[in-house]
Amino acid sequence: MAKRSIKDVALDGRRVLIRVDFNVPIKNGAITDDTRIRASLPTIQYALDHGAAPVILCSHLGRPKGKPDPEFSLKPVAARLSDLLGRRVVFAEDCIGEPARTAVGQSGRGAVVLLENLRFHPEEEKNDPKFAAALASLADVYVNDAFGSAHRAHASTEGIVRHVKESAAGLLMIAEIEHLGRVLERPDRPFVAVLGGAKVSDKLEVIENLIPRVDALLIGGAMAYTFFKSRGLPVGASLVEDQLVDAAREIETRAKARSLRVELPADHVVAPASALKGEKVASEVLAVGDPAIGDRAGLDIGPKTIGTFRGVIAGAKTVVWNGPMGVFEIDAFAKGTIEVAKAVAAINGTSVIGGGDSIAAVAKAGVTDRITHISTGGGASLEFLAGRELPGVAALPDKP
């Protein structure tokens, strides 16, 4: 799936429109996490260094329901990006029409223009051809660097490609495709997948796609309790997706037929469900299946499971991890996730991490710089790992 890169396109003196992912958390007008902005900097800087005249940036932010909403304005992002780049970023009050044309027309080589939120127009999510053409009219070259939005067939990610002279993938997009593609198609072995999070439904297709590919599958988090229920084990008040109990049973049957090692928690930290509301409650480590769980919920993996998971991960040459092992946002139930983060970072091989909680865990564990690739994709990463075609990737031309 080698795609044409920004490095394969002449940029000097040309208007370069880059679709970035600036969907960052903003509270009271202040950006609380600029990770996605920082992730776009190499592509933006590359375009500046190669004579783009100007660099034009477009992104969505939040869910403004197809109309302007000050709460979802990208203006704070323009200010933060200006600080990060060390140069003024021109902010256009709209992403199409006269405000956009004027901002771009008055900016030349070395300038950066950030257009207002794409989703202030309902035509963006509808992939409206006229809206896509209006965006395309601002540029000579289109670059998609928003892997996190590549699973959506929107005007700025898919439709626009049909209306520009040249298009290519940005550096972040290329890195995401290469790293995720490599672990799926040609991983160094043993290849271990670690999956967690709340719901089996979020990861069902991923598990199904990974069963024939991995050498071991470790499952933690609340999603494990749907598997436990499929085995007839007591789960107390733990989160279970009853409609997927049969699917969980089928996954284990398929894995067994392939002699795939599947590890579910052997012990867990249980506590009253009121702990999820911030109440301070007593917790206890129990073996999975112990009826003493009563009406309590499993909220983290236990020490025996941590040891088992750590041992399997240590022997891996490739690890993919998505989803926490427990209710990570509460410190009392974060240990399993933190220990898995440390184990993944310690492998002598390739580690690929996705999902906000997993990314936060490696940061909290202080091992971010020891992870081979941290995907900013979220839903796009999961769909890629599930084997789905991503419209925003498929629309881009292949490498010549």
* Residue 307 in tokens: 């040891």
Q: Can you state the angle between helices 335-345 and 356-364, rounded to 10 degrees?
A: 80
Strand, coil or helix: 214: coil
In sequence order, the β-bridge partners of residue 259 are none
What is the C-alpha separation between 321 and 340, in angstroms, rounded? 9
Pairing verdict, β 30-31 and 26-27: antiparallel
> Where does the chain show beta strands of DSSP type E?
16-19, 26-27, 30-31, 55-58, 89-91, 112-114, 141-144, 166-169, 191-195, 216-219, 261-263, 267-271, 284-287, 297-301, 318-322, 350-354, 373-374
The dihedrals phi and psi of 143, each to the nearest 5 degrees, come to: -125, 125
Catalytic positions, written as ranges: 36, 199, 356, 379
Which residue blocks in 272-355 are alpha helix, DSSP H? 303-314, 335-345
Of 400, 399, 397, 337, nearest to 142 by C-alpha is 397
Which pairs count as long-range contacts for 11-14, CB under 8 Å and 24+ apart, including other chains? 11/47, 11/50, 11/51, 11/52, 11/141, 12/50, 12/51, 12/52, 12/53, 13/51, 13/53, 13/109, 14/51, 14/52, 14/53, 14/140, 14/141
Of 197, 44, 359, 383, nearest to 392 by C-alpha is 383
Residue 140 parent element (H or E): none
Residues in the chain: 400
The dihedrals phi and psi of 113, each to the nearest 5 degrees, come to: -120, 130
Of 318, 65, 284, 107, nearest to 215 by C-alpha is 318
Q: Can you state the angle between helices 75-85 and 35-49, rounded to 10 degrees?
A: 60
Of 178, 222, 181, nearest to 200 by C-alpha is 222
